[in-house]
Structure 1
Amino acid sequence: MRLVLHELRLFFIALQFFTRVPIPRWVGFEPLWLQHCARHFPLVGLLVGTFSALVLWAALWLWPAGVAVGLAMAAGVWLTGGFHEDGWADTCDGLGGAVSRDKALLIMKDSRIGSYGALGLILMLGLKAAVLVSLVEQDWLLAMTALVWAHCASRAAPVWLIRALPYAGDADHAKAKPLATQASIATLLTALLWVLLLSLGIAWQQPQWLSQLGLAVLAAAVATRAMQAWLNRRLGGYTGDNLGATQQVVELAALLAWLAHV
């Protein structure tokens, strides 16, 4: 029972860190919990994706696919405070140009958005919207499923990076300082387990989507490894912004995969 309560605490800490959702007072807080709660990042993604999917479903009763998708995406951004999108924009600004490692790290610390960041956000959100509209026009249930799965699976990608790469920035002044320590193998396996459980549930309920699901798993894995290689080459590690950027890239890759075999 004590173990279950501790894991519930860790989930609430992850939920508080990545969303606007209030958590119970009894949860409390210890800095070390923020590092350990990484194992539940995909579960937070599952909830964010479910919230967005429900907004999509409700909006489709009143508006065309394009409007419904826009509202669903806005709901997800509102719930998370644009946390990952901000990391993607900062990463585009820092790594979009041919600058040195130290200069890139300095640029990513700047709260102002530059041309690379603005273009990155426009392209990322535009592509996600285009894919989701196409999925809705084919099968609204498939679109909702893809949205939920992509949110969940993409939250496992940052855990992989935390496990695979060292922290590249100044850990003492990092916004995500408690995350600037390598994740344990148990943390990574737990994060992957959440994705596996969701995937098995989808396969059981909708076996006709196995090809899309398999392609989405492959796309998420390839995108994660590609981000790992890129960050290792440019920075020799990751920053908090890079974790958010990786989530965005993997989410888009997964959505594209769900659409590819429709």
Structure 2
Amino acid sequence: MRKIGILNALIIYFQFFTRIPINKMFKDPQREFNRGMQYLTIFGLVLGVIEAAIFYLVTFLFPVWFAWILILIFDGILTGGFHLDAVADTADGMFSSRSADKIHAIMKDSRLGTMGALALIFYYISMIGCAVIISQHFGVLTNVLLVAITIMNTKTGISLVFFNIKNADAENGLLKSWGHISKGKMLFDIGVFLIVTGAALGLKGLIAAILSFLFVPVYKNWIYKRIGGFTGDTVGAFADIYQVIFLLSFLVVIRLWILF
């Protein structure tokens, strides 16, 4: 398979994951998406740096904790709530206590259900709660770095889920469109994530990143047990869930570091 250059990969990911208008056409965008998956974390880093820069500017006008809230709003606007829609759909389906076929039908329903609404509320409460704690214990620079890392790891999370993924619908679903990520591409994504996280947040951040990896098989096994494989919604949902997992892991590491 022909490799895609990093610039084209970044362009196609900005077109896919954000509302930033980039006027470049690809003959087969889904195929190009799969070819460049080793650059998912790098794309996440670029997006994270953009949002972190805006976050930094906002801190000149507002307290750091409020800057976190504003950047969450900005991220939703910039990405069109791309992964948030998946979080809601996944929650509606997976917590419906129905059969696998019924869960698929619920996730395809565009209407927002009770569990989907609760999932979005819980997501924002968790993110804002972590942000308030972080803003109270760390300076502006650390908060800026955490914004960049947190945005970056949404795309690392997608890479981790795509490795050895099982599709819920082999004929028409996710793998039919995108295929899966190879071991080499996944290791490259993980390597970039760990290097950047370690450089930005030091040993504590690196430990938190490694701890967050432990949640990946838990999530994948839960999806397989409930519906037999992944859909686009269950992959997208993990991206935002992984943000919360990383921030919670970081706070746990900091707490244990202080205690011991």
- How does the TM-score come out when normalised to structure 2? 0.87
Deviations 1:30-89 (A, max 9, x none): 231122232222222212322332232222211233421111111111111111111111
Deviations 1:180-211 (A, max 9, x none): x2222232123223213313432xxx6xx412
2:59 paired with 1:60: yes
2:203 paired with 1:210: yes
Name the structure 2 match of 1:196: 194
**How many residue pairs end up in the alignment?**
251
Gaps of 5+ in 1: none
Is contact 2:153-2:193 (8 Å) kept?
yes
Name the structure 2 match of 1:95: 94
Name the structure 2 match of 1:246: 238
Is contact 1:12-1:23 (8 Å) kept?
yes
The structural deviation recorded for 1:129 is: 1.0
Kindly report structure 1 stretches of 4+ aligned residues shifted beyond 4 Å.
Answer: 174-177
* Structure 1 residues 176 and 22: CA distance shift in structure 2, 3 A: farther
Equivalent AA in structure 2 for residue 144 of structure 1: V
CA distance in 2, matches of 1:111, 1:146: 33
CA distance in 2, matches of 1:201, 1:23: 31
Equivalent AA in structure 2 for residue 64 of structure 1: P
* Structure 1 residues 177 and 61: CA distance shift in structure 2, 3 A: farther
2:166 paired with 1:166: yes
Equivalent AA in structure 2 for residue 210 of structure 1: L
Name the structure 2 match of 1:36: 35
Name the structure 1 match of 2:251: 259
CA distance in 2, matches of 1:29, 1:13: 11
Deviations 1:123-178 (A, max 9, x none): 00111011112212222222222222122223122222222221113653x48852
The within-5 A match list for 1:8-157 is 8-25=7-24, 28-30=26-28, 31-139=30-138, 140-157=140-157
Gaps of 5+ in 2: 256-260
2:232 paired with 1:234: no
Is contact 1:36-1:187 (8 Å) kept?
no
CA distance in 2, matches of 1:47, 1:226: 28
CA distance in 2, matches of 1:23, 1:230: 37
CA distance in 2, matches of 1:32, 1:12: 14
The structural deviation recorded for 1:233 is: 1.0
The structural deviation recorded for 1:245 is: 1.0
The structural deviation recorded for 1:24 is: 4.9
CA distance in 2, matches of 1:47, 1:254: 18
Is contact 2:5-2:36 (8 Å) kept?
no
